[in-house]
Homo-oligomer: A and B are copies of this chain.
Amino acid sequence: MTRKKVKLAFIMNDSARKATYKKRKKGLMKKVNELSTLCGIDACAIIYSPYEAQPEVWPNNIGVQRVLAQFKRMPEMEQSKKMVNQESFIKQRITKANDQLKKQIKENREKEMTEVMYQCLTGKRDHSKLDPAGFE
């Protein structure tokens, strides 16, 4: 039985995406910790996810703030010195986001449809379902 070789693309299935997020976030944090310990360096990671109101960080808020303060002090000239070709990178992200959006709109449309049908069947409106609560 051959396991499908996960391709690097947005995971459309909500539960699968969340499961993957949790596993990989854990693995990532561990990696940052290892790198920092093994090589004695200063580093931080900040992750914003739809699953947590607060960003998840390494090593902790204070550590992150310290690194960020350092980062802000960096002269701008130096920052752009090692300019990589960010243009194409960002373009890629836009394309990716657009694809996601298209699919999301479709999903939302289907959800609305379900909602309308539900209202017809029950004869009442359930506004809580329209709560823009987001995706969790």
User: A residues within 8 Å of B by Cβ?
Assistant: 8-11, 17-18, 20-21, 24-25, 27-28, 31-32, 34-35, 37-50, 53-55, 57, 59-62, 64, 67-68, 70-72, 74, 77-91, 93-94, 96-98, 100-101, 104-105, 107-108, 111, 132-136
Contact = CB atoms under 8 A, between A and B. Distances in A.
17 contacts: A28-B28, A28-B32, A41-B48, A45-B45, A46-B68, A53-B78, A59-B89, A68-B71, A68-B72, A82-B133, A86-B108, A87-B104, A90-B100, A90-B104, A91-B101, A93-B93, A93-B97
The copy count of this chain in the complex is 2
User: Interface majority SS on A: helix, strand, loop or mixed?
Assistant: helix
